Amino acid sequence: MTAKNLSVPDIIGAAQAAMAKRGLQLWWRGHSTNTWELTPQVFRAWPRRPARYEANALNRFRQRAPTRHANCPTADDFAAWLFLAQHYGLPTRLLDWTKAPLYALFFAVWEPGRDKVDGTLWGMEPARLNEVFTGEFCIYHDSDPPAKSLVHAAFTLKAPVLNYAVAIEPDERDARMLLQQSRFTIHGDSDSLNSLKHSSTFLDPIVIPARSKPKLRAQLDDLGITRSSLFPDLSNLAIELKDGSWSASPWETESANREQQAQERPTSKQGDT
Task: Reply yes or no on whether the pLDDT at 265 is more than 70.
Answer: no
What are residue 184's phi and psi, to 5 degrees? -145, 155
State the total domains in the chain: 1
Residue 187 lies in a domain: yes
Task: Reply yes or no on whether the pLDDT at 129 is more than 60.
Answer: yes
Residue 189 lies in a domain: yes
Task: Reply yes or no on whether the pLDDT at 53 is more than 50.
Answer: yes
Average pLDDT, the chain: 88
* pLDDT category of residue 262 using cuts at 50, 70 and 90: low
Whole-number pLDDT of residue 176: 72
Mean pLDDT of 193-215: 97
Residue 3 lies in a domain: no
Whole-number pLDDT of residue 263: 62
* pLDDT category of residue 248 using cuts at 50, 70 and 90: very low
Q: Using the 8-state DSSP alphabet, how is residue 67 labeled?
A: G
Task: Reply yes or no on whether the pLDDT at 94 is more than 50.
Answer: yes
- Using alpha carbons, select from 139, 33, 41, 44 the residue that is nearest to residue 94: 41
Whole-number pLDDT of residue 238: 83
Whole-number pLDDT of residue 1: 36
Mean pLDDT of 253-269: 54
Cβ contact 33:208 at 8 Å: no
Task: Reply yes or no on whether the pLDDT at 271 is more than 50.
Answer: no
Mean pLDDT of 81-104: 95
| Separation between Cα atoms, residue 205 and residue 119, nearest integer Å | 10
Domain span at 208 = 8-264
Residue 231 lies in a domain: yes
Whole-number pLDDT of residue 242: 79
Query: Highest mean pLDDT: which of 66-75, 175-184, 201-210?
Result: 201-210
What does the angle CA 232 – CA 236 – CA 241 come to, to the nearest 5 degrees?
Answer: 115
* pLDDT category of residue 252 using cuts at 50, 70 and 90: very low
Residue 273 lies in a domain: no
DSSP β-ladder status, 182-187 and 94-98? antiparallel
Residue 178 lies in a domain: yes
Lowest-confidence range among 60-64, 103-107, 256-260? Answer: 256-260
Whole-number pLDDT of residue 240: 74
Residue 122 lies in a domain: yes
20 C-beta neighbours (distance < 10 Å), count: 9
Lowest-confidence range among 54-68, 158-172, 199-213? Answer: 158-172
Whole-number pLDDT of residue 91: 95
Whole-number pLDDT of residue 92: 96
Residue 269 lies in a domain: no
Query: Highest mean pLDDT: which of 48-52, 120-124, 181-185, 254-258?
Result: 120-124
Mean pLDDT of 39-67: 93
